[in-house]
Chains A and B, each alone.
Chain A
Amino acid sequence: MKIKAALATTAAFISASALSAADLEVTHWWTSGGEAVAVSEFAKAVNEKTAHNWVDGAIAGSGGTARPIIISRILGGDPMAATQLNHGRQAEELIEAGLMTDLTDLAEAEGWKDFVYPSSLLEGCTYEGRIYCVPVNIHSTQWLWLSHDAFEQAGIEVPKDWFEFVAAAPKLEEAGLVPMAQGQQGWQQAIAFGALSISVVGIDTWSKVVVEKDADVAGGPEYAKVFQASANARELARNSNVQDWNLATNMVITGKAGGQIMGDWAQGEFAVAGQVAGEDYTCLPGLGLNQVIDTGGDAFYFPVVDDPDVKAAQLEMASILISKEAQVAFNLAKGSLPVRGDIDLSTANDCMQKGLAILAAGGVLPNADQTLSADTQTQIKDLMAEFWASDMTAEDAQARYASIIASAD
């Protein structure tokens, strides 16, 4: 009976939309080489499997540039058919204001709950019991990427964790290399800081600060180690004068820098450059210290539109984005992990396998987008931008971090 009802609902969705083709404008900020390849897989799936056209609305620049444009378009009454956002709290108020399409019926008909793994992904899309977005991938930010070429030039072994990497830094410098590549932008520095904090103090202390927002712990002696590690990292990245993350990754790819702390999307760049994980580069999830990754990621939201054709097409598109074929094609190209627990990724490379193994072992954390509001995150980014570019002491930075956490929501 239940299955019948589900089938009927799915059929209703499809028959309602089969009538006319719609142009679906999709906004996203996937513009680097690897990302562009990945998003074209989605476009291909939508164009081939439906009568609708994927109209690409890529917005250059990072999410920080794109999100305001996307949000102001939705608020301003000019919504696109679908848009990338990071699920979590970014769209909270847009949902509250009734500007996002409710996908609950579709999700129940297709049984998303049964195959989306880890389930926290769907929770990130849920607001007051209703589902408003389609998670499309899992991204984690606790990765250290190491260039085999650079360590060969310095004549040393490739490190196995963050502390070995720090110890190897002088040798790299002697060889005329930059020990750590780091894009000089607040969000990248916040990622490096976040990765260092989980790795250095461990999950319990980390979640006291980031999840429970305990300012005493954030200002305490345990967390001081995090700031000391960040100050070390700042010294290692002193001579890295690039801005964009993919330029920093390129320093690692070309062997000009020893390593970089960056999210797993860096892998797409290595793939485009034709490098092989384990041979040309090494990736260390959790910086090689704690085998955990967070489960942030990208999701597609479907703003409420008036056009009934587009409305029907939105649901069709949602169903395609989460389908097995699209998930495999997209995530292999992007280097991110798929949101379904029921697909075979044996073709994935070394790094993705490491990530999948951690997922399977349950070493998952909530992502900063889920625990901290955009406001608090911006304050942390501002602090990190200032800290990394100046000679601010670790103690000062910690005191200010603690005061941000104290007023965080």
Chain B
Amino acid sequence: MTLADTARVSDNPVRRPKQLFRNLSAKFASIPMILTALVVFVGGTAWTVAHSFTKSRLLPKWDFVGLDQYERLWNSNRWIISVENLLIYGVCSLVLTMVLGFTLAALLDRKIRFEGAFRTIFLYPFALSFIVTGLAWQWILNPDFGIQGVVRNMGWESFTFDPLNDPDIVIFGILIAGLWQGTGFVMVIMLAGLRGIDEDIWKAARVDGIGITKTYVRVIIPMMRPVFVTALVIIASGIIKLYDLVVAQTNGGPGIASEVPAKYVINYMFEAQNLAQGFAASTMMLLSVIIVLVPWAYLEFGGKKRG
């Protein structure tokens, strides 16, 4: 009784100042997390960005050199190729996982038989780490033992499918593995979203005589907006982090044709013992995330307040 009373009292706009002390125990409990977020994430990020303007080698040093590291970064062929690869991989992977994931989910949602079995099969690759996925696909795409070898053994001698050894298309070889791994997960999220749609919507659409495809595109998908946003954020963060798949599958090869930014960061921080160069690269990665996120957040949250 008293608890409810206090809550109602502090809800009163006239007594605003007490707002700070409302739910004191909950606020107190979240202090460690707030501190972690501020010190570890924000603090760590600021520290990294600041050191990217120095000439730190193996150990961090305050020895400012201005934008030298960034100049070198953007003059480096390997970095440019890394960024291009990430763009190709990112766009293709984003579009294809969404489209394939949603299509699979929609098909499963048509009350087919053995839905559980299909769902398990599609989701299974997600249980594997990127390292295992990468190694498995390295073998599958191996020209002597994989797909090409099998087809040639069946009699089609001129068949060529060797993406991992062709610098021009190697990134698509990695894309295939990435899609195989990630699509099932998106499918499950989408399926959960589809299950959340009220049966009555379908009934109403049927009464109005709207076709199934049209119902999906015009009614269901707009209703699933939050699900799409969730899936988008998860896929996008996976794309930026792309590292282990490449290491396992090609290790950046042939040559430097399948290098990615995260690999550049790790290599320059540890192998080349040039922290500042690695930090400059990671700052560029952070910057690109911010460039994408800020307009989106502005539209998403800024718009609502005005409306």
Contact = CB atoms under 8 A, between A and B. Distances in A.
Given A93-B59, A97-B59, A378-B268, A385 B273 contact: no
A184 interface: yes
A184 B254 contact: yes
The DSSP consensus for interface residues of chain B is loop
A64 B271 contact: yes
A67 B274 CA distance: 14
Contacts of B252: 385
Contacts of A382: 76-78, 256
B57 interface: yes
Given A386-B78, A390-B167, A378 B255 contact: no
Interface string A356-388: 000000000000000001110111001001111
B156 interface: no
Given A386-B77, A386-B78, A378 B58 contact: no
A241 B250 CA distance: 12
B266 interface: yes
B165 interface: yes
Given A93-B57, A94-B58, A375-B57, A385 B255 contact: yes
Q: Find the residue from B57, B255, B270 having the highest chain A CB count within 10 A.
A: B255
Given A68-B266, A71-B58, A93-B59, A374 B256 contact: no
A386 B256 contact: yes
A24 B54 CA distance: 37
A276 interface: no
Contacts of A96: 59
Interface in A18-48: none
B273 A374 contact: yes
A203 interface: no
Contacts of A90: 273
Given A184-B253, A385-B252, A389-B256, A67 B58 contact: no
A375 B274 contact: yes
A75 B254 CA distance: 32
A72 interface: yes
A382 B271 CA distance: 12
Contacts, number: 75
Interface size of A as a range: 20 to 34
A375 B253 contact: no
A67 B57 contact: no
A373 B253 CA distance: 24
Contact of B271 (A94, A374, A387, A390): A374
Nearest to B162: A241
Interface in B94-148: 143
The DSSP consensus for interface residues of chain A is helix
Nearest to B272: A378
B277 interface: yes
Nearest to A391: B167
B273 A93 contact: yes
B173 to A, nearest CB: 15
Given A93-B57, A93-B59, A241-B165, A385 B271 contact: no
A71 B251 CA distance: 21
Contacts of A400: 77
A18 B72 CA distance: 53
Contacts of B167: 389-390
A353 B289 CA distance: 58
A389 B272 contact: no
Interface string B66-77: 000000100011
B267 interface: yes
B255 A386 contact: yes
Contacts of A94: 58
A243 B249 CA distance: 12
B257 interface: yes
Q: Closest 7 CB pairs between A and B? A: A389-B255, A68-B270, A378-B272, A93-B58, A389-B254, A374-B273, A375-B274
Interface of A: 64, 67-68, 71-72, 75, 90, 92-94, 96-97, 184-185, 241, 243, 373-375, 377-379, 382, 385-390, 400, 407
Given A374-B273, A375-B57, 13 more contacts: A67-B271, A71-B58, A72-B270, A92-B58, A97-B59, A241-B143, A374-B274, A382-B76, A385-B256, A386-B255, A386-B256, A389-B256, A389-B257
27 contacts: A71-B58, A71-B273, A72-B270, A93-B57, A93-B58, A93-B273, A94-B58, A96-B59, A184-B253, A184-B255, A185-B253, A241-B165, A243-B251, A243-B253, A373-B57, A374-B272, A374-B274, A375-B57, A375-B268, A375-B273, A378-B271, A379-B272, A385-B256, A386-B256, A389-B253, A389-B254, A389-B257
